[in-house]
Amino acid sequence: MDYAEPHIRWAMEVCFNLGTRPGPSEPFALRWEHVDFKKSTVRIYATKTKTFRTVPVTPAFLERLREMKDKSQFSYIIEYRGKPVKTIRKSFNTACDLAGIKVPVRMYDLRHLFATTMLSNGADLAAVSKLMGHSTVKMAADAYYHCLECET
């Protein structure tokens, strides 16, 4: 993250804290109106499943959202110079190269980190699955079985 441009760093932070699918379908479609500062939640529309899901946020990330909203020039949560962001793949890859990361890394890995972090800390699989917008708990179980093995 230290090697990423500020808007890329922010996009990474949003993806990790909300468990969004990367790209235009979820994080880049998020608007400030989707944030409920009183309830500490963000509503995410998943174009893949055509459903909304509500993700609770930590107090620290809620504070970051407040800070970023104050700086925002636009209605989108992730923006660059007052315009919505459509893709960050090149900039993300550049940041990884500058950081000397030699293994293949994708923005989607932040979504996996969201899930594995929660599961490794004892979160319920069904709850994690729901937060990620999976259509079934089995999808999460298949993808994150290795984390559940660590709990036993």
pLDDT at 152: 44
List the structure tokens of 75.
Answer: 């209605």
C-beta separation of 114 from 132 below 8 A: yes
Residue, of 83 and 139, whose pLDDT is higher: 83
**30's tokens:** 């998020």
Widest CA span of the chain, in angstroms?
48
Taking 80 as the threshold, does the pLDDT of residue 122 lie above it?
A: yes
Least confident of 24-38, 94-108, 117-131: 117-131
pTM over 0.95: no
> What is the pLDDT of the chain when averaged over all its residues?
88
Joined tokens for residue 152? 């036993």
Q: How far, in Å, CA of 96 to CA of 100, rounded?
A: 6
Question: Over the stretch 7-66, which tens digit does the pLDDT of each residue have?
Answer: 999 999 999 999 998 878 899 999 999 999 999 999 998 877 788 899 999 999 999 999
The three state secondary structure string of the chain is: CCCCCHHHHHHHHHHHHHCCCCCCCCHHHCEHHHEECCCCEEEEEECCCCEEEEEECCHHHHHHHHHHHHHCCCCECCEECCEECCCCHHHHHHHHHHCCCCCCCCCHHHHHHHHHHHHHCCCCHHHHHHHHCCCCHHHHHHHHHHHHHHHC
In terms of Cβ atoms closer than 10 Å to its own Cβ (0-12, 13-18, 19+), residue 67 is: exposed
Q: Are 69 and 32 in contact (CB under 8 A)?
A: yes
How confident is the model at residue 123, as a pLDDT? Answer: 86
Q: What is the pLDDT of residues 70-83, one digit of tens each?
A: 999 899 999 998 88
Confidence (pLDDT) at 146: 64
Q: Which pLDDT does position 54 carry in this prediction?
A: 95
Query: Residue 63 has which token pair?
Result: 């504070």
| Residue 138 pLDDT greater than 90, yes or no | no
Domain extent listing, the chain? 6-151
Architecture of domain 6-151: Orthogonal Bundle (1.10)
Q: What is the pLDDT of residue 149?
A: 58
